[in-house]
Amino acid sequence: DQQVKQNSPSLSVQEGRISILNCDYTNSMFDYFLWYKKYPAEGPTFLISISSIKDKNEDGRFTVFLNKSAKHLSLHIVPSQPGDSAVYFCAASHLYNQGGKLIFGQGTELSVKP
């Protein structure tokens, strides 16, 4: 039972354009969402998060949008740079879950071409 889904395994974008990565979830108890970036042979690196009380969070070139009614979030990267090429994981949890368990999507591989 996959509670967090990233339906696009890969995305290719031209440098300078916008990258939009999507994530859907099924559990309405989730109230905290995160995006992680992962380079080959490295661990996931925290990128940005959003609480369910917000619908948008911005950090530099990265913005996360949350649509609770649609159970959908997206990560926007503007402008995209070649160094952004990596696998992006969406993750979710709920505040009162024991132990801080994160449920991850299967990842989207972003390729930013010069």
Partner 1 sequence: DTAVSQTPKYLVTQMGNDKSIKCEQNLGHDTMYWYKQDSKKFLKIMFSYNNKELIINETVPNRFSPKSPDKAHLNLHINSLELGDSAVYFCASSQQGGSNQPQHFGDGTRLSIL
Q: Name the site residues for partner 1 (rule: CB under 8 A).
A: 32, 34, 36, 41-46, 49, 51, 87, 89, 95-102, 104, 106-107
Shortest distance, CB of residue 21 to partner 1, whole angstroms?
15
Neighbours of 98 (CB within 10 A): 5
Exposed, middle or buried: residue 35 (CB in 10 Å: 0-12, 13-18, 19+)?
Answer: buried
Distance of alpha carbon 57 from alpha carbon 36, whole angstroms: 15
Q: Is 52 or 79 the residue whose CB approaches partner 1 more closely?
A: 52
In the bound state with partner 1, the residue whose beta carbon lies nearer, of 12 and 106, is: 106
